Structure 1
Amino acid sequence: MKIVFSTFLFFIVLGHSCLYAQSEADKLEAALKGELADTARIRVLTALVKEYQFVDFTKSQAYTEEALKLAEKTESVKHKVDAYLTASVLYASTGDFSSALRFDNRALELDITTKDSTNISRDYNNIGHDYYDLGEYDDAYFYFTQSYRIASVIKDTLRMLISLHNVGRVFKELGQYDQALDHLQLSLKMSQEHHDTEGIAYALHEIGDVMLRKNQYDSALNFLTDALAKVRSMHIDEIHPQVLANIGSVYLSKSDFSKALAYYDSAYTLHAKTNNRYGMAEIELGRGIVFIKQKKYDEALDKIEKSLVIARELNARVLEIRSFYQLSVLWETKGDHKKSLEYFKQYKLLEDTLFSQEMQGKLLRDQIRFETESRDTQIAALSRLQTSQRSELRKQEFVRNILVVVMALSAILLITVYRSGQRRRKINMLLLNHQDEMEKRSEELERLNQVKDKFFSIISHDLRSPINALAGLLDLIDKGAIKPEEMHKHTKELKVRFNHTRTLLNNLLDWTLLQMDKLNLQAAKINLYRLVEENIQLLGSVQDKKISMLNEVPENAIGFADSNTINLVIRNLMTNAIKFTNDGGRVVIAAREQGREWIVSVSDNGVGMKPEVLSMLFDKTAPYTTRGTANEKGTGLGLILCKEFVEKNGGRIWVESAEDKGSTFYFTLPKS
């Protein structure tokens, strides 16, 4: 009865809150119907987005899009930034963190032009959130610490507190729980001192999550229950479902499956209200783990596979890693060790990619630099305290002895010099930060220039050669220097050069459209078998190496992607395979299903590649190229285009090769 009454009371409070929100929303919508200037209209629209964000996602999204359209027309930086931040918050609440990152970066670019340090610190923190949610913790740590640095310069205590809290979250995800607790407990203490009740709720939730990961379940439950009480009393909708989900995870760890599912269901309902697909996928994964424990394997498989599909669609790599691991556990429990090993390999591969040595090294360097600067700040603070204490002693001595007057004047002079030095230090720090930004921009420009130079080199060299050959041949024909029986030999060579040049021109045009963002992709159902068959017919008529090409793609292989770009990918990969296969060799094109994807492969039994070459194939700053088995020329541009087009269609591309044993290129496509 107590539980029923509490639930009833909760819905009464929730209903009252919704009525109040609806009343405010009605007033704003009435104002929207009147004649308003664009800037005033943007303010009303962004307010409506916040009103409907946790009530009616469809309306919230519509108002966001209208605010963005108006913002692009206005010259007001402030209103553009407001619209971008509103869009970022909305997309983040749905789990679309990539879109949120895009809008936060736009806001940062505008705030940098106004040199508003407070807003820049806020934008760095928002971008750090986006990278954190995407699982890119090295970038998240960098932006959180940058936010802290700027906040410390302008003495924005609240922003410093938030940054410390977020740095603690990064350490939590990296498994450095002691460091995470140090930062989170410090942020909790600062929130209590500044009476920041919302900050207290966030800190309690994160500390509870750390305790859960340390397997201290009773402690975790205490912190999370306190956090839930504050979240509900203050209507902090952003983390309400997360707190419920973590409490459900505690009960799961304590093997209280009925309570775990009850909390997961409550969290799922709240995520569904904001269409937060990432949050719903996390809950599906939690339910799947419960069903594994309950030996309901079919239901578990359904839930975990749903989580994996959404994780891939959102590029949520941490959630994808967790899903692969639980699928491995599920099949191991069912006794299918082969499937279990397959999922475990995918789990380890993705985990090693995400938590690579490069990422760990970058994070360690940022951590050392941040901690060093923090210690310098503490030392400076102690120095100021000591100076203040000396000044107080001198004042007391002045009362006792007139000679203190001289010492007091000296102290004043020292303080003036010290403050001047502090100002210079701050200015130098800002100049150094500016210099770092300029160096980064310079490196980026240099990289782009290298790309430009490479493609100009391709145009100037590889296009000139066949044209010169054609001019020479025409000149010889004009002079009658070529006998009729020699024409076949020369035209055959010219045909090879022409085919190479035509392929190069098509690739250059496609690459140019891609760089100018003028290439419109139109996804539709495509028959992969038919596409491969057409390319076999085309390439079979122009290649003279007597290479057999086999189409092992199932006739029912229907993908969902842009037909033109995928056709180019298949043709480029087949051309590449023919190029590096000896006369009489074999090229096999195949496809197999995996989850919601088709994995297409192009294999040859040609010369293969050394391991050091594999890492260079898709580098657009320095395209790798070498001559084929029949001395065919190349530019390396084809594989770069393949990578760009596959990723534009939502897939991935990779290669496996061994020297003298041939190569296999793989790419994925969504299923229809």
Structure 2
Amino acid sequence: MKNEGVHAVVLNSETADELLAFHDNIPEETLQQIESRESDNVRLQAEKEVAEKQLFINRIFIAALVLVILFLLVLALQFRNNSRQKEIFNSELKEKNRTILEQNHIISQQNEELSEMNQAKNRLFSILSHDLRSPIGSLQQLLELIQSGDFTPEEQSGLLDEMLVQVTGTSSMLHNLLHWANSQLEGDKVTFEEVNIPKKVSRVVDAYYLVAKSKNIKIIQEEPKGLPKIQVDKGHLSVILHNLLSNALKYTIEGKEIKITYAVKNDQVLLKFLDGGQGISEKKIKEIKNLNSRMISQVGTGMETGTGIGLMLVKHFLNINRASLDVKSYRGEGSEFIVAFKKAGIN
């Protein structure tokens, strides 16, 4: 055993010597090539390690990029969902706003209708108090005269005839007023009809017969032939005529006359009330013609008082019936109210 070990050592020593001898015998160029290859191997190994590190970094970057992309996709999907929810919410909000606006519009219309109905009610009471005061007062005077017993049976019969005329005219006026009031409760509606204006005026004159007689005023109405019919709302016309005649009686001096005449001008029929008063000022004429103006009522020649609403109603109804009012004053002789109505059949 010992000999074998010694032998191995001797061999190894010999081998080493041989290798050294071999290395010494290797040419210089070959040694340089071997060293160059070893250097290349080291460099390649280093480059491989760098490449592996770069690959690892690239994989980490790609993984991070994928995560970022996924995160952005999630954000995009969330944003899209939020946008859809926002659009739905905005759409619902717009619909609710539209509904609210419609409801507000309906409420506004209802408020306007209620306001108009309230105004119509006020106008009704004003008209009734204004236009019924004179005929009712006349009837009261007649009854007082009959009750006094100072008249013969023949005179009482005449007074009763006058009362019948007065009651008939007042009843007709009240019927027209109530017809107008009923239409007003449904709004300012105009129902155009063809009307024989002289016939309508005659009925109104009959209603004020006793009022005129109490002031010794004579009402002279022209009886025209072939006068065209006018186009107007009958209820409105009744209010217009009653107020114009009442106004003429109020400012006519006792013992004088009221003249009612007619004329035709182009497509209009003119109705003229000429009273027997003192005339009115230019300032008052402008006030009368102002559609939105409510006049301050003046005391009449018989100390009559008024509310000032009569002419305001006349102007209002003339306006919605496509008619107009003109006023002329003749100082010391009277005032003339000229109403122009549309001829029937004229659009």
Give the TM-score taking structure 2 as reference length: 0.49
Greater helix percent: which structure? 1
TM-score, structure 1 as length reference: 0.29
For CA contacts below 8 A with separation 6 or more, give which structure has more relative contact order: 2
